[in-house]
Amino acid sequence: MKSTLSRRNFLRTGAIAAAAFPALKTLPASADTAFAGGYAPVNLGLASYSFRSFNRAQLIDFMKQLNLSALNAKNVKDHLPADPAEEAKALAEYAAAGIKLHAAGTIDLNKNDEADMRSKFEYCKRAGIAVMVAAGPTAETLPLIEKLAGEYDIRVAIHNHGPEDKLWPSPLDVLKVVGSMDPRIGCCIDLGHAARAGADVVKAIHEVGPRLFNIHIKDLKSFQDRGSQVAVGEGIMPIPKIFEALVAIRYKGFVDLEYEINAENPMPGVISSFAYMRGVLAGMSAV
């Protein structure tokens, strides 16, 4: 898909959305698939790690303020506990708030022990989660992961963690290994880490294609500096081109904001990030 909108127009659209943010509360919970009366070609969600300093009740309140219903939950604070009884309580509270869990993670899959590994799949199965975002799988654990992914019919998205990650710095490193495996084994592209590992993120989306199950989106001012993260739209990440690439490969998954800075006061940056992304998507749907 070729967009006729310039980056300046995208930025202006995002600014308009930001200015109009209070009105977003009046839109239906499906605002990210039917934004402003038009079809939004990319599904936006939230990685709960963005609110890692806040408990579940606060997380739910923040999501209501954001008019957001799609959650990628992590076992941090009490967001999605591993204990079955506590997990059930969390799921009931999310359901009551109209929040749907589409993914969980990151979940460590680096222990070559079937009982331990099976407990992670049971955790996702109880939550009705279709995508497990995996951290740290190894050559030794991949055969077991592949077996359980087939047994539970859960997609496993291996998360790349940038140049510090010796096994999975880039989604292309994931693709090299999983390309011949069960089609339920694929990638979670963390755009910030991928860019820092030297990947062309737009090209990587095209190359990963049907093996792309989840995206963690963030923005950076420098692809050489992990500490340069800013709100989405304030850095150099090519957000419009990323969204266009996702449309081109007919990506059906979620783009989950993972806002890793300002842990004690993330809401201003999170609001700005969603306003910008929604503005980009509104512009795309209007083309």
More confident residue, 182 or 10: 182
Residue 260 banded pLDDT, cuts 50, 70, 90? very high
Q: Which range is least confidently modeled, 13-27, 63-77, 128-142, 172-186? A: 13-27
DSSP structural state of residue 259: -
**pLDDT greater than 60 at residue 173:** yes
Tell me the residue ranges of DSSP E strands in the chain. 43-47, 70-73, 100-108, 131-135, 155-159, 185-190, 212-217, 219-220, 229-230, 254-257
Per-residue pLDDT tens for 19-51? 334 333 333 334 465 444 445 689 999 999 999
Predicted local distance difference test score (pLDDT) of residue 287: 61
- Mean pLDDT value of segment 225-231: 96
In order of 95, 147, 241, the CA distances from 88 in angstroms are 10, 26, 39
Eight-class DSSP state of 49: G
Closest CA to 43 of 246, 269, 254: 254
Question: How large is the average pLDDT for residues 51-66?
Answer: 98
Element (H, E) at 12: helix 7-19
The domain defined by 7-286 folds into TIM Barrel (3.20.20)
Query: What is the rounded CA–CA span in Å between residue 121 and residue 238?
Result: 34
To the nearest whole number, what is the mean pLDDT of the chain?
89
Candidates 158, 108, 111, 113; CA nearest to 131 is 158
Domain ranges of the chain: 7-286
pLDDT of 226 reads 93
